Structure 1
């Protein structure tokens, strides 16, 4: 290989890796709204809870933060603590953590490719948002205020 090709490869690969890393970082933790339509609220709530392996009583009355995690995820415990604190700041919002270590069927059904992954469910059980990676808490609070129509309760 001549020196010009080596120079191009030597400068091009780090530049490409940096660009990919910056794009990945910008996308991780963002609240991505989902579009779901519902016709029967009770049936949707039951179907969502059943699909997740949860009872209706496990879901919040205003919203639910469903966190998918695994045993080997190093960021999942701190994410769970943060999401629990966020949920405690709103009336009727609950945080539920689902361990996917032995539930590959749920990972496939909900297209979980990284942990933590968080779903934000409305009171009727419909998914309103999805967050891949560690969530940006300010964006989670803003989204919760939008779907619950209530401000953050200072604790």
Structure 2
């Protein structure tokens, strides 16, 4: 009988973990606001070189998608983000395969693929999404940072 209760407990734990992971998938997490001191120049964000090289100073927002070679949901995310960038003024999408760059993922605190970072031209993180983003929610969160109409 003890084995039955152990099995039932294990199934319950797995179910709870599954529900939590599903709820967190695609959720937009806004970056913590930076303290602004009047008259002071804010420090430049420290980004790993491969990410810094992807930034375009002319784009108000760059979506950096961190993917891995064997990630199945990365292709879906790439298609979604590329479409959003194509339809939205001021939004740029780039993809970085971090399969062979574990230090980049660690420096950015990335624990899963895909993870999407929205960065301003200086490299400051505006928001991040773990998993496949929800297009409408992502665009709504980016609205204050984009110059034109939202696609």
Please say which structure displays the higher CA radius of gyration: 1
State the distance in 1 between where 2:101 and 2:126 align. Answer: 23
Residue 96 (structure 1) shift = 0.9
**Consecutive unaligned residues in structure 2, runs of 5 or more:** none
Residue of structure 2 in register with 1:147 after alignment: 145
Corresponding residue for 2:88? 90
Ranges in structure 1 where 5+ consecutive residues have no aligned partner: none
Off by >3 Å, runs of 4+ in structure 1: 38-41, 47-51
Which 10-residue stretch deviates more, 59-68 or 93-102? 59-68
**Which has the larger share of helix?**
1
Specify which of 66, 69, 72 is matched with residue 68 of structure 1: 66
- For residues 126 and 77 of structure 1, the distance between their equivalents in structure 2, rounded to whole angstroms, comes to 26
The Cα shift of 1:44 comes to: 3.0
Structure 2 match to 1:17: 14
CA–CA distance in structure 2, aligned partners of residues 64 and 74 of structure 1: 23
1:118 to 116, 119, 131: 116
Q: How does 1:51-66 map onto structure 2 within 5 Å?
A: 52-54=51-53, 56-57=55-56, 61-66=59-64
1:104-124: CA deviation from partner (whole Å, max 9, x where unpaired): 221111121111011011243
Q: Does 1:135 align with 2:144?
A: no
Alignment TM-score, normalising by the size of structure 1 = 0.81
SS in 2 for 1:26: helix
Q: TM-score, normalised by structure 2?
A: 0.83
Q: Supply the distance in 1 between the matched residues of 2:141 and 2:49 (Cα, whole angstroms).
A: 24
Equivalent pairs, count: 147
Return the alpha-carbon distance in structure 2 between the equivalents of residues 83 and 55 of structure 1.
15
